[in-house]
Amino acid sequence: MPLKYVRRLLWGLAPLTLIACQTASNSAANTMNHRFIPADSDRFALEGRAQPLDSGALHIGYPGVTLHTDFEGRYLALRAHSSGQQSYLGVTIAGQPPRVLKLKPTSQEWVLIDSDKKVSRRVEITHRGETWLSQVTLEGVTINANAALEPVKLPSRKMLLVGDSVTCSYGAGDRETPLNTAPWWDPKASYGMKVAEALDAQVHLVCYGGRGLTRSWNGNRDEGNAPEFFEWAIANKASPVEWEHTRYQPDLILVSLGTNDFSLGIGPLPEREGFVGAYVDFLVRLRAVHPGATIALTEGAIVNDEEDPERPQKTVLRQYITDAIERFGQPDVHFIPATHYPGDERDGHPTGPQHAAMAEDLSRQLGKLMDW
């Protein structure tokens, strides 16, 4: 038996004394025997891309990656750490408002349930940030000796979203905090996860703020744009982790790219041939790894023609997308128009309520497209 599986077996069976931390309970539960269950255990249902580690932990970069489990017992504590100071997890128990946990580079443990009698609770643990903020290592959970965890059955329908900061949920969170800080992200409030909820589907958010199809917001073409990060479980160009596409076969792929390629701060809009050719190449790759998926392309909520009528982003991007679909020339690839949402006085990214409106727009169109 490989060593890593021996480790996991021992962790699952051996009673452990709870590791103390600032948030640990001071109750009698600390003196009980506990079991540690690694995050990669089959007692969790995993939604989203993650890298399993030999330790049994899960390494996570993309937003919205969620562990789902049904807990029955008296004691449940979560253990995790991050690569930096800008990682948050949201923990939802029995459908209540999420408890938001800020991670540090050192391992921490948070008591989530500490009851004097057995309780049954559905638990969701969701990564709230995105890769460039910092990456999360979900180590696992500590439970009381007689507790049980059962993976939640996820919807049979599967969606995959490929996009930029909007898809990653930047702006959908707390906009009263400083710009570009972690509270601005809230994937549960994002249009992508709301569409999936409305259509009763799982969803993977494969996205990276500031990146595009051919170039980033600053004009760079070598930072790991969408055709590259699409291939990665962890979107870190310095040390990327490859994703095995066979692990998740979506029924529907929604691509929302172009906002950063068409950034007015770069200068002229992209040339037709270069952009359309790159989009066709990306469609070829999407079809190769997901041959049974319906593919929908949209221009996203930020681009508009009003900001600079001499460079009408929205109109030109729509033309390029439809050109790419025609040139690709295969069935089941569709254009889905997006409504422009302007953000607010603080930032041009859509707000939480605007994400909800985007989800309504897209759910209606995608539901009709898929007959869902």
**Measured between alpha carbons, how far is 56 from 110 in angstroms, rounded to an integer?**
19
- Answer yes or no: are the C-beta atoms of 229 and 212 closer than 8 Å: no
Listed in order, the ranges of the chain carrying CATH 3.40.50.1110 are: 157-370
pTM over 0.75: yes
* pLDDT single digits (tens) 13-36: 333 222 333 344 444 445 458 999
Closest CA to 173 of 361, 364, 347: 347
Q: Which two tokens stand for residue 111?
A: 């008591």
Residue in this structure with the two tokens 């690709």, named with its chain if needed? 328
- The strand pair at 15-16 and 34-38 is best described as antiparallel
pLDDT at 4: 43
- Is pLDDT at 350 greater than 60 in this prediction? yes
* pLDDT single digits (tens) 35-65: 999 999 999 999 999 999 999 999 999 999 9
* pLDDT single digits (tens) 222-278: 999 999 999 999 998 888 899 999 999 999 999 999 999 999 999 999 999 999 999
Under the banding of pLDDT at 50, 70 and 90, the label for residue 144 is very high
Q: What is the DSSP letter of 183?
A: G
Instruction: Catalogue the active-site residues.
Output: 165, 347, 349
Q: Which two tokens stand for residue 244?
A: 């095995």
Instruction: Classify 3-151 by CATH class.
Output: mainly beta
| Mean pLDDT value of segment 281-294 | 98
Listed in order, the ranges of the chain carrying CATH 2.60.120.260 are: 3-151
* pLDDT single digits (tens) 321-346: 999 999 999 999 999 999 999 999 99
Topology (CATH level 3) of domain 157-370:
Rossmann fold (3.40.50)
Q: Mean pLDDT across the chain, nearest whole number?
A: 92
- Answer yes or no: are the C-beta atoms of 196 and 202 closer than 8 Å: yes
Q: What is the DSSP letter of 185?
A: B
pLDDT at 18: 29
pLDDT at 32: 56
* pLDDT single digits (tens) 152-203: 999 999 999 999 999 999 999 999 999 989 999 999 999 999 999 999 999 9
Q: Residue ranges of the alpha helices (H) in the chain?
A: 3-13, 191-198, 226-229, 272-289, 313-328, 352-370
* pLDDT single digits (tens) 102-140: 999 999 999 999 999 999 999 999 999 999 999 999 999
SS (H, E, C) 98-146: CEEEECCCCCEEEEEEEEEEEEEEEEEEEECCCCCCCCEEEEEEEEECC
Q: Residue 22: phi, psi to the nearest 5?
A: -60, -35
Q: What is the DSSP letter of 319?
A: H
**Measured between alpha carbons, how far is 103 from 124 in angstroms, rounded to an integer?**
17
* pLDDT single digits (tens) 60-110: 999 999 999 999 999 999 999 999 999 999 999 999 999 999 999 999 999
- Work out whether the CA dihedral 181, 187, 367, 370 comes out positive or negative: positive
**Measured between alpha carbons, how far is 17 from 32 in angstroms, rounded to an integer?**
8
